[in-house]
Every structure is written in C-alpha cells, then in structure tokens.
Amino acid sequence: MSTSILYDIPGPRTRLRNNVYALLGAIGLIVIAYFVYSKFDQAGQWSAKLWTPFIDPQVWTGQILPGLAGTLSAALVAAILSLLFGVVFGLGRLSEHRWLRLPSATIVEFFRSIPVLMMIFFAQAGAFDLFGYTMSAFTAVVIGLTLYNGSVLAEVFRAGITSIPRGQAEAAYAIGLRKSGVIRLILLPQAVTAMMPAIVSQMVVVLKDTALGYIIAYEELLNTGFRQLPATFANIVPAAIVIAAIYILINLGLGQVAHWLERRSRRSRLKAPRTSTRSTIPQGTVT
C-alpha cells in the first residue's frame, strides 16, 4: 500500500464512511437540482417557445454574435494593454531609482483599490464633465479594465521576477550583463512560466468584467444576450443558461491555450543543445 506524507491512508471503515458521505452529498445535489428545475418548470421557463429564439439565425446574427464580438474585442484590447501596463509598472516597482519606484507603487496601489465599475463610469462621465469630450463606451470599458487589471498584473510580474533565485541574477551580472539584460534574458523568461496561471486567471477576469459595460450601455454579450433578449421574448432563464455556456466555453478555451503555452515554454527550456559524441582523438594516437 502506498503512503503519503500529507495524510494517513484511510482504512476500510474510513473509506466506507467517505463513500457514504459522497453518496449523501450527491443525493442532496440531485434533490436541490430537481427543486430548482421544478420551480422553473412551474414558472414556464422550460417551455419550448422560450428556447425557440435560440434556433433562429437572426437572433444570433442580430444580437448574440454582435454582443460576443463586442465582448471579445474589448477583452482583447484590454488584455494587451493590461499586460503592457503590468510589465511597465511591475518593472518600475523593481527599479533601484526611488523617483521611479515610488510613483509606480503609488499608481499600482491606487488603481488596485478602486472598483472597476467606478473607473469605467468615471472614464466616460469624467471625460465629458472635465473636457467636454464624449468618450465611446468601448474606450471607457477598455480604460477601466486596463487600469485595474494592469495594476494587478504589475504585482504578478513583480512577484514572479522576485521569486527567481538571486544566484541566477548574480551569475548574469558576473558575465557582464546589465540589469535590463538580466531581467529580459534571464529572469523574465523563467518568471513567465511561473506566472502563467495567475496571468490566465486575470485574463479570465478581464473577459468577465467586460459585462460591467452595461452601466454605460456598451453592446457586449451580457447586454445583448441577457438583457435585450429576455425583454423581447420573456425567456430570462434560457437566456441566462445560453449566455453562461458561451462564457464558460470561452474561458475553458483560454485555459487550454494557457496550458499549451506553459507546456511549450517548459519543453523549450528543458531542451539541451546537441553535443557531438564522436571522439576528437586523432586516429593512430595511443591513449
């Protein structure tokens, strides 16, 4: 029997008890699911006529897909800008110069502490009140998402770089590299692999937070699929299920891409240069 340093291997009675608890938990979940299903059924939310709009191509091309395009475009632009923001201010927090380190820390801590919804609203309303400029909903959403998520990523980058053993940086300095080269060539490539789960998690947050654009009437997936469709067809539960499924599929796809990138990065770093196995001793030499 295999052993574990984390916990003792359960005996027959414990395994039986755990199986009983698991069975009771599964039964409880089934009962709760049936209760929810029956309540929705009594409200007529499972009626076929409420699901019919989702097999109509015009509903998809006229509302859901344009909303999905709005979500993905805002998320993509905000993700790219957030990564750039995070790299710049994360490295700024690691700077040896006080005049650069302190402002970077102040900006990061400030925008990390403000709700995203407030930044999105202020980006649009503040631009008009202060400058008389009517900012588009897309721009306001991207600004709000970039400032908040970029500040979070700045801390992720800083923590990832500082987690690399100091000996590697010291060895790089010993061979004549400058600090910029040490970070770019030695520390950052290794830190990216360690930071990948946190980066992907934050990208999922960026994608989901695009839904906050409803406060300024941005045409994204939640607005078009979960607010406009139920207002027309009175099918709020089917709309919620379909829109949630779309979000889940996108986030699962993003996670798979991240796992692929992480595996590829690990394989590329583990590859050793090929060395010749031929003997370099001249023929006829006695050894």
What pLDDT, on the 0 to 100 scale, is given for residue 167? 80
- Report, as an integer, the average pLDDT of 250-256: 86
What pLDDT, on the 0 to 100 scale, is given for residue 8? 66
How is the chain split into domains, by residue range? 68-220
In terms of pLDDT, which residue wins out, 150 or 44? Answer: 150
What pLDDT, on the 0 to 100 scale, is given for residue 83? 93
What pLDDT, on the 0 to 100 scale, is given for residue 279? 44
Global pTM reads: 0.77
> Which of 108-112, 186-190, 208-212, 247-251 is least confident?
186-190
What pLDDT, on the 0 to 100 scale, is given for residue 270? 61
In terms of pLDDT, which residue wins out, 193 or 56? Answer: 56
Give the range with max mean pLDDT: 72-76, 236-240, 270-274. Answer: 72-76
- Report, as an integer, the average pLDDT of 144-150: 95
Residues 227-239: pLDDT tens digits? 888 888 888 888 9
- Report, as an integer, the average pLDDT of 94-110: 90
Q: How much is the mean pLDDT over the chain?
A: 83
In the numeric block, which tokens belong to residue 100? 């650069």
DSSP 8-state secondary structure symbol assigned to residue 280: -
What pLDDT, on the 0 to 100 scale, is given for residue 192? 78
Q: How far apart are CA 113 and CA 61, in angstroms?
A: 39
Residue 174 pLDDT exceeds 90: no
Q: How far apart are CA 199 and CA 84, in angstroms?
A: 12
Closest of 199, 221, 200 to residue 210, by C-alpha = 221
What pLDDT, on the 0 to 100 scale, is given for residue 280? 45
Amino acid letter for position 130:
L
Task: With cut-offs at 50, 70 and 90, classify the pLDDT of residue 271.
Answer: low
> For the residues of 228-243, what is the DSSP string, one character each?
IHHHHH--HHHHHHHH
CA distances from 79 to 69, 148, 250, 287 (A): 15, 11, 14, 63
Residue 277 pLDDT exceeds 50: no
The class that CATH gives domain 68-220 is: mainly alpha
